[in-house]
Amino acid sequence: MYTRFLSIFLALFSLVACGEKKSEEGAAKPLVVIISPDNPPFEFKDTAQAGDKVIGFDVDVVQKLGEHLGRPIKIIEGDFQSLIPSLQSGRADMALSEIYPTEERRKSVDFSDPYYSNKPALLVLDSSPITSEKDLANQKIGAQLGTPNETMAQKWTETVPGLSVISLNKGGDLVQELKNGRIQAAIMGDNIAYRIAKSTPGLKVIAIDTPSKDIAIAFPKGSSLVGPVNDALKNMKGDIEQITQKWIVQ
Amino acid sequence: MDRSVIHLDFERIWPSVPYILEGVQVTLAYTGVSLALGFICGILLTLCKISHIQPLKWFAGIYTSIFRGTPLLLQLVLIYHATPQLTGYDISAWQAGILTFTLNSAAYLSEHMRAGINALDKGQMEAALSLGIPYPLIMKDIIVPQAIRNILPSLVNEAIDLLKESALISTIGGADILRRANIVASEKYLYFEPLLIAGALYYILVMILTSAAHLLEKKLKTS
């Protein structure tokens, strides 16, 4: 009986050891990048075809970045909420997931220069009479928590009477609430909005006249990578244009 | 829009079902390993609780009150995020999950086991001691087997709980059934369909577990 327990323990520890001892051959240590793969087209999984592989705009950007820095890239996954804690605990060297460099987040992490800009748009039901943010009086608008889009929607409540903002965790949550009729409009990056409208019948996109919102790469506070990454990003304008064409075309 | 019509679009989900199904083995691995380790730790903890050495009793009491007194999700997130910061050891989601579920279920299991042992006739222990059988052997051959048979239903309950609570691993990125369903949901912008599939999978797993336990219970009763 004891030997059986012992063998279970040993088997487990060897399992653990296997997981840990990923051989680190090759010249350069890989850059560990944490991504939350639930936000197409920026980062997602083609679960029908590519299975467990994380793909998307941000993935291509970071792979190119690795080429420019001469470092291999190792992608690990986490929930969006766990991205910043993972940087702080040193589990990852950088995080990409359409992250907006807000003032609040700058208190916890450092950011690169922006590598892409998202123009906000409204997603509404096909039957909706809404044509601009001015029509949102006495309506509920959904926004993703902690994004500049949420901040902007909050600002609208000062001028649009009766407008209230519902903050949710993910883009997908907004779509569900829209279908359920709990919100009448959702604000998000236009490329994502067009993508959703294309794949989900009954929804349409309303373009609005607002400035674009930058997205950037997040690093642990004081990371020595920020400088080199910014230099690399300056040389990557053409690459990023190509990657944009590949993933974010309407 | 007429909301009276429930529109379920399973056709767009079918190609991704195998991806969600792969989560079954992940969920089972978390549950099985944590349950086995939690069972062992639970026995040790129970021995502390029923021993006559005060510090061991205190330790077991404090341990149980901490792990039963705080949410499992909080324990999981703390172990996963605090371990690298405190010790410098980069604990993986798998290790953090197993560690948390083991420690947590050990606390609950030890309470069940203590109740099971207390329910046994004290005379058995006294008789065995008076026959000169050493304490470890009394425990191993007489007390614990009977106690476990008595508490089998609560052990099964704990296993079912653990199976469902293992879904918490999705919050730190473990690719279990729920996490995979969420990834498919965000890929396709469809919410109900992948979650319904995940729900069905959990239900089937729990049903299998329940009927297996039922058979085991019957067999133990007759023997």
Q: Of chain A residues 115-174, which have a CB less than 8 A from chain B?
A: 125-127, 170-172
The full DSSP string for A51-105 is TT-EESHHHHHHHHHHHHHT--EEEEE--GGGHHHHHHTTS-SEE-SS----HHH
Helix axes A190-199, A171-180, angle to 10 degrees: 50
- Interface with A, mutate which of B21, B81, B187 (most A CBs under 10 A): B187
The per-residue pLDDT for A20 is 43
Q: Which of A79, A89, A200 sits opposite B173 (nearest CB)?
A: A79
Phi and psi, residue A187, nearest 5°: -105, 135
Q: What is the CATH number of domain B10-222?
A: 1.10.3720.10
SS3 B134: coil
Going residue by residue through chain B (223 aa), what tens digit of pLDDT does each one get?
A: 444 455 677 888 889 999 999 999 999 999 999 999 999 999 999 999 999 999 999 999 999 999 999 999 999 999 998 898 888 888 999 999 999 999 999 999 999 999 999 998 889 989 999 999 999 999 889 988 888 888 998 999 999 999 999 999 988 888 899 999 988 988 888 888 899 999 999 999 999 999 998 898 888 877 6
Q: Tokens standing for A173?
A: 């949550």
Contact A171 B186 (CB under 8 A): yes
What does the mean pLDDT of chain A come to?
A: 87
* Separation between Cα atoms, residue A43 and residue A183, nearest integer Å: 26
Which ipTM value was assigned to this complex?
0.74
* Separation between Cα atoms, residue B196 and residue B190, nearest integer Å: 11
Query: Is the confidence at residue A8, as pLDDT, over 70?
Result: no
Q: Which of A8, A176, A202 sits opposite B36 (nearest CB)?
A: A8
* Separation between Cα atoms, residue B160 and residue A88, nearest integer Å: 35
Q: What is the mean pLDDT of residues A6-34?
A: 58
Instruction: Collect all residues of chain B within an 8 Å Cβ-Cβ radius of residue A51.
Output: 19
The per-residue pLDDT for A14 is 47
The per-residue pLDDT for A17 is 45
* Separation between Cα atoms, residue B33 and residue B22, nearest integer Å: 17
State pLDDT tens for residues A41-95. Answer: 999 999 888 778 999 999 999 999 999 999 999 999 988 888 999 999 889 999 9
How close is the nearest chain B Cα to the Cα of A36, in Å? 9
Residue of A nearest to B141 (CA): A1
Q: Can you name the residues that pair with A125 across neighbouring β-strands?
A: A203
State pLDDT tens for residues A99-115. Answer: 999 998 999 999 999 99
State pLDDT tens for residues B138-156. Answer: 988 998 888 888 899 899 9
A137 near A144, Cβ under 8 Å? Answer: no
Query: Is the confidence at residue A10, as pLDDT, over 70?
Result: no
How close is the nearest chain A Cα to the Cα of B38, in Å? 12
Instruction: Collect all residues of chain A within an 8 Å Cβ-Cβ radius of residue B15.
Output: 47-49
Buried b (16+ CB within 10 A) or exposed e, A34-44: bbbbbbbbbbb
* Separation between Cα atoms, residue B8 and residue B132, nearest integer Å: 69
The residue written with tokens 């879904």 in the block is B167
Nearest residue to B159 (alpha-carbon basis) of B117, B105, B92: B105
Query: Is the confidence at residue A151, as pLDDT, over 50?
Result: yes
* Separation between Cα atoms, residue A100 and residue A117, nearest integer Å: 9
Handedness of CA B124, B127, B128, B129 (dihedral sign): positive
The per-residue pLDDT for B207 is 96
The per-residue pLDDT for B41 is 96
SS3 A172: helix
* Separation between Cα atoms, residue A169 and residue A191, nearest integer Å: 18
Which of the four pLDDT bands, split at 50, 70 and 90, describes residue A250? Answer: low
SS3 A43: strand
Q: What is the DSSP letter of A39?
A: B
Q: What is the mean pLDDT of residues A2-17?
A: 50
Q: What is the DSSP letter of A72?
A: -
Which of the four pLDDT bands, split at 50, 70 and 90, describes residue A27? Answer: low
The per-residue pLDDT for B1 is 45
Phi and psi, residue A81, nearest 5°: -65, -20
CA distances from B50 to B37, B38, B40, B143, B206 (A): 20, 18, 16, 12, 32
Q: Which domains does chain A have, with CATH numbers?
A: 29-116+214-247 (3.40.190.10), 120-211 (3.40.190.10)
Handedness of CA B38, B43, B47, B49 (dihedral sign): positive
* Separation between Cα atoms, residue A155 and residue A225, nearest integer Å: 35
How close is the nearest chain B Cα to the Cα of A21, in Å? 12
Instruction: Collect all residues of chain A within an 8 Å Cβ-Cβ radius of residue B189.
Output: 171-172, 175, 196, 199-200
Kindly state whether A44 is in contact with chain B, defined as any CB-CB distance less than 8 angstroms: yes
Kindly state whether A48 is in contact with chain B, defined as any CB-CB distance less than 8 angstroms: yes
